[in-house]
């Protein structure tokens, strides 16, 4: 177990994404319903000194945070993130360990086909919808982008199954852009701690980009996800073991 409380295995991925017909970024599904923006769910906004100290501690605990999805190329990362909606990283990694040796490029995925892909991902939730999206996005990548992964949010969001959050993950992890992919974990941590309180994911994203010191922007997304996934959990946050407990503005801290 590390300083984030990670033991490996069954943590939820926190990259829950909408289907291709839902381009809204104002609702997060999967944390016992929608996110809460009630006063009880939020801490007071932090001052810049506390905010900096939080990220200094998170960096000291994990200087080089990484996604827990296993991938080798931007395409494999994109597919993995699309598959990770309402699924664990472990379940996605188990499926892609068999899938990617067979279909590691958009062209190979098209050759495999929707039914063939379904056989590899049927252990993952919503696998039929995800198979359809992966095949459709692979076709568009071949037809419109020479099989390459586009490097702008707008182009990424033109792909089936890819919303703002998934686009931000790809831009950050694959291309080193200082983006904020606000999932349910980041939304919760940002509001509870007071790092960047907001009523919806887009507001939290914009505040994080505005207030997080530039030197922390590249990895801030991963630090906050990991903190929410393993320490600042939804039902009973592990406040006594939290390395930023004394800086957090959450009023309903767990005592033990």
Its sign, for the CA torsion 152, 68, 229, 48, is negative
Domain segments of the chain as ranges:
43-62+179-247, 74-173
Per-residue pLDDT of the chain (256 residues; tens, 9 = 90+): 444 444 433 333 334 334 433 343 333 323 223 344 443 356 567 889 999 999 999 999 999 999 999 999 999 999 999 999 989 899 999 999 999 999 999 999 999 999 999 999 999 999 999 999 999 999 999 999 999 999 999 999 999 999 999 999 999 999 999 999 999 999 999 999 999 999 999 999 999 999 999 999 999 999 999 999 999 999 999 999 999 999 999 988 887 6
- For the chain, how many helices (H) and strands (E)? 10, 0
Rg (CA), the chain: 18
Q: How far apart are CA 195 and CA 185, in angstroms?
A: 13
Instruction: Determine the pLDDT at residue 254.
Output: 81
Instruction: Determine the pLDDT at residue 43.
Output: 59
Q: Mention every residue, 6+ apart, whose C-beta is less than 8 A from residue 124.
A: 83, 87, 91, 92, 95, 130
Report CA-CA distances (Å) from 207 to 8, 164, 184, 195: 31, 16, 16, 9
Q: Hey, how many other C-beta atoms are within 10 angstroms of the C-beta on 26?
A: 11
Q: Mention every residue, 6+ apart, whose C-beta is less than 8 A from residue 76.
A: 96, 100, 104
Helical (H) or strand (E) element with 120: helix 106-121
CA proximity to 130, closest of 109, 101, 144, 154: 109
Annotated catalytic residues are 165, 183
Instruction: Determine the pLDDT at residue 42.
Output: 60
Pick the CATH number of 74-173 from 1.20.1250.20, 2.70.98.10, 3.40.50.970, 1.10.340.30: 1.10.340.30
Q: By three-state DSSP, how is residue 222 classified?
A: helix
Residue 252 carries which DSSP code?
S
Pick the CATH number of 43-62+179-247 from 1.20.120.530, 3.20.20.70, 3.40.50.300, 1.10.1670.10: 1.10.1670.10
65: Cα separation from own chain's centroid: 13
């Amino acid at each position: 177990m590390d300083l984030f409380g990670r033991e490996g295995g069954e943590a939820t991925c926190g990259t829950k994404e909408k289907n291709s017909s839902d381009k809204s970024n104002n609702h997060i599904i999967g944390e016992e319903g929608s996110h809460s923006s009630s006063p009880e769910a939020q801490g007071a906004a932090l001052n810049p000194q506390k905010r900096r100290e939080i990220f200094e501690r998170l960096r000291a605990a994990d200087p080089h945070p990484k996604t827990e999805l296993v991938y080798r190329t931007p395409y494999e990362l994109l597919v993995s993130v699309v598959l990770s909606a309402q699924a664990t990283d472990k379940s996605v990694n188990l499926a892609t360990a068999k899938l990617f040796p067979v279909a590691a490029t958009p062209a190979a995925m098209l050759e495999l086909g929707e039914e063939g892909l379904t056989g590899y991902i049927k252990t993952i939730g919503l696998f039929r919808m995800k198979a359809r999206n992966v095949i459709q996005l692979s076709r568009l990548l071949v037809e419109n982008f020479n099989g390459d992964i586009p490097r702008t949010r707008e182009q990424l969001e033109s792909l089936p199954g890819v919303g703002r959050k998934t686009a931000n993950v790809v831009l950050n992890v694959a291309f080193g852009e200082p983006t904020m992919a606000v999932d349910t974990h980041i939304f919760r941590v940002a509001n509870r701690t007071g790092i960047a309180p907001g009523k919806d994911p887009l507001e939290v994203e914009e505040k994080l980009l505005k207030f997080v010191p530039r030197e922390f922007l590249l990895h801030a997304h991963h630090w906050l996800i990991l903190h929410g996934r393993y320490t600042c959990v939804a039902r009973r946050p592990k406040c006594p073991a939290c390395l930023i407990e004394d800086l957090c503005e959450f009023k309903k801290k767990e005592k033990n």
